[in-house]
Structure formats: C-alpha cells, structure tokens
C-alpha cells in the first residue's frame, strides 16, 4: 500500500516537472548550451550529431528497436560525448532531399534530459510528425541530408525593435498561440515578424510576447529563406 502511495506521488511530481519545463521559456542549461557547443570545432561535433539524427529517423521509418545512445556515441571523443549528454536544449531537425526541405520538426524547449536524447527523439518525429508533408518512406533514406539546429537562450524583446533575422530566430506567443521562425528563414525583420505571427494566428494589432534566439547549426547548408518563401505561397 505504501509502495502504491509513493508511486502516485512520483507520478504527480513527474507531471508537475513536465508542466514546469513547458511553461518556462528558457532554462539555465539552455542559456549555456551555445557556449558549450561552440567550444568544440563544428566539424568534430557534426559527425556525432548527424549520426544520432539519422539513427533516430531510420529507426522510426523502419520500425526498428530504439538504438542505444551509448552505442551511437561509442568511438567519439570524450569531450563530444560529455557535451551531448550533460547539456540540454531545444533542437530542430531538418531533412533535405534534392535541395528541398523534405521535413522539419523541433521545439524551442528541451523535452529530454540531454542533447543526444533530444536530437534522437526529434528525428524520430520527423518520420510522420511534419503534417505539411507526406510521411518519409524507407526508400528515401539514402537520399536524405540532415541539418540540426541547437536552440540557445530566449531573450525577451520588443517585437518592433530591429535585429538581424539571419543571426536571430523569433518566437512569439499570445496565450496558447505560438509561432517560431528559425534564423535565416526570413531575410528582413519585417518578414520574420509577419511570418511568426501568421504561423501563430496572432494579429499584429494584439498584445503578444516576443523572444529572439540564436542557434548552432550543424549539417547540410540550406538557404532557409528560399524554402520559407516557397512554402508560404
């Protein structure tokens, strides 16, 4: 009976912890992760990150058992493993096929305990979660290239002040309505703000919160502004 009581308490605490995580726009770990990641040359970190992303997508598409992260990271240098397992942050994973975005999903906030888990689980969602596009098939896997964007600290801003939309992404929120534009998706601040609010269903005449953020991007190069303009037609 006592064991059952403790289980109920543990479940409640787990739910409260998740709620707290979702409500907070940023965390201490998220604010530090850009600096942590930047300490490692991107060419060294990139291979590990893309290995995790591809493994996550392939396991989802093929219906395989989840690959253990310890196995995926085996053989990589200790500093890389430590960075990916001791930090957490939101990530976006994009897959490109024939120089066009095939799917893109992600989150501003960390939902998992480590960057490695975050990248893997986000890649799993790529298979079917991007409802703007058809599910990814096993026949396509060899043709796909990956890009992973690691999200840094959110900075509260006046949405009508100016900053570089190439260097900073934008997150807007009004109640439960939210919109995200990644760095480089828009070439002007006005476009970035317009697209973010349109994605969220927010009118520019209403009050809303705005946060800018930077990312560390690893993987294939992509002119995100081109794909945003194509998808916005």
Q: What is the pLDDT of residues 141-186, one digit of tens each?
A: 999 999 999 999 999 999 999 899 999 999 999 999 999 999 998 9
Q: Which pLDDT belongs to residue 175?
A: 94
Domain with CATH 3.30.1490.150 in the chain: 153-213
**Residue 145 β-bridge partners:** 96
pLDDT at 29 over 80: no
pLDDT in the model for residue 24: 36
Q: Which class in CATH covers the domain with range 153-213?
A: alpha beta
CA distance 123 to 133: 15
Question: How far, in Å, CA of 217 to CA of 35, rounded?
Answer: 13
Q: Where in the chain is the domain with CATH 3.30.700.20?
A: 27-151
pLDDT digits (tens, 9 = 90+) for 76-106: 999 999 999 999 999 999 999 888 888 889 9
Give, in words, the CATH class of 27-151: alpha beta
Per-residue tokens: 150:
């690691």
Give the C-alpha separation, 118 to 96, whole Å: 20
Report pLDDT for 230. 45
Q: Is 12 helix (H, G, I), strand (E, B) or coil?
A: helix
Please give the average per-residue pLDDT across 119-130, as a whole number.
89
Contacts of 107 (CB under 8 A, 6+ apart): 90, 91, 92, 122, 151
User: What gap in Å lies between CA 190 and CA 195, rounded to an integer?
Assistant: 9
The predicted structure's pLDDT at residue 156: 96
Please tell me whether residue 66 adopts helix, strand or coil conformation: coil
**DSSP alpha helix (H) spans, 24-114:** 28-38, 42-62, 69-73, 78-86
The average pLDDT across 125-138 equals 84
pLDDT for residue 91: 96
pLDDT tens digits for range 47-72 = 999 999 999 999 999 988 888 999 99
């Amino acid at each position: 009976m006592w064991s059952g009581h403790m289980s109920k308490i543990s479940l409640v605490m787990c739910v409260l912890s998740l709620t707290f995580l979702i409500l907070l726009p940023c965390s201490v770990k998220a604010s530090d992760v850009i600096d942590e990641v930047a300490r490692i040359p991107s060419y060294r970190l990139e291979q590990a990150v893309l290995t995790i992303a591809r493994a996550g997508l392939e396991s989802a598409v093929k219906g395989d058992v989840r690959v253990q992260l310890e196995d995926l990271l085996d053989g990589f240098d200790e500093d890389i493993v430590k960075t990916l397992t001791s930090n957490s942050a939101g990530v976006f994973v994009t897959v490109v096929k024939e120089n066009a975005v095939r799917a893109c999903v992600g989150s501003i906030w960390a939902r998992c305990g480590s960057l490695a888990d975050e990248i893997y689980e986000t890649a799993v969602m790529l298979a079917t979660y991007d409802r703007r596009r058809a599910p990814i098939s096993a026949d396509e896997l060899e043709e796909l290239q990956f890009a992973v964007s690691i999200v840094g600290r959110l900075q509260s801003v006046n949405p009508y002040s100016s900053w570089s939309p190439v260097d900073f992404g934008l997150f807007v929120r009004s109640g439960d309505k939210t919109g995200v534009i990644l760095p480089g998706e828009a070439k002007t601040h006005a476009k970035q703000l317009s697209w973010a609010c349109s994605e969220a269903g927010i009118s520019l005449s209403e009050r809303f919160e705005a946060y800018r953020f930077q990312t560390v991007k690893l993987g294939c190069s992509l002119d995100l502004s081109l794909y945003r303009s194509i998808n916005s037609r």
